[in-house]
Amino acid sequence: MPLPPSAHRAPTTPPDDALIPERHALAPAPGTVLSSHYSHCFGCGPQQSGGLQLEARAGEGVEVTSEFLVRPAHQGGPGLAHGGLLVTAMDETLGTLNWMLHTASVTGRLESDFVRPVPVDSLLHIHAWATGVHGRKIYCAAEGRIGGPDGPVAIRAQALFIEVKLEHFTTHGRPEDIKAALDDPALLMRTRAFEVNP
């Protein structure tokens, strides 16, 4: 089945009348390690032993950084990172921009370009930033570099995130996981912080 024409796809670049994203007054200070949004998240959850366990840090403005250590379990081709896991690391890092904007959002669309292979045992340095806000749409981009934060680019991504209310998760999530999350006082405090309208 052919893909629909590109005119029907949501763009990942902001329209001309998009607002320049502004760091929320309650955003964590630059350099602050951002806690996981959910302890069982495949991307950032510390209790997800098979996950990526990414740890992101607040940057300047509406920016975040993270690092992804490519382990043998992350292979696609022999000795090389699986492309889908690299995209997952980019998506997770882009999603942490929520902390800078003080909102909850979900991925609407993500496009990626693989620039060079990422070998096992590489540390992928990811830098993500918001490029525009238009209504509930949050536009953002990221680069993943190997060999250091200023090393060669291995992957680029552009994404469209959609702001959602917290009911999005409680309505669509598996009931036992929602209950466990709501019983976690630390998670409840983090999610309630996002209920404040900027």
* SS3 label, residue 108: strand
CA distance 88 to 129: 16
- Sorted by where each begins, the domain ranges of the chain are 12-193
Nearest to 143 by CA among 38, 49, 59: 59
Tell me what pLDDT residue 165 has: 77
pLDDT digits (tens, 9 = 90+) for 164-190: 876 655 666 666 666 666 666 555 444
Q: 12-193 domain in CATH 3.10.129.10?
A: yes
CA distance 28 to 63: 11
As given in the structure block, the two tokens for residue 75 are 């292979």
pLDDT digits (tens, 9 = 90+) for 8-18: 678 899 999 99
Tell me what the pLDDT averaged over the chain comes to: 85
Tell me what pLDDT residue 188 has: 46
pLDDT digits (tens, 9 = 90+) for 140-163: 999 999 999 999 999 999 999 999
Tell me what pLDDT residue 48 has: 72
Banded pLDDT at 196 (limits 50, 70, 90): very low
pLDDT digits (tens, 9 = 90+) for 113-132: 999 999 999 999 999 999 99
Strand arrangement of the beta sheet that strand 63-69 belongs to: 33-34, 55-58, 63-69, 123-134, 137-146, 153-163, 105-114
pLDDT digits (tens, 9 = 90+) for 56-115: 999 999 999 999 999 999 999 999 999 999 999 999 999 999 999 999 899 999 999 999
More reliable by pLDDT, 57 or 35: 57
Tell me what pLDDT residue 106 has: 92
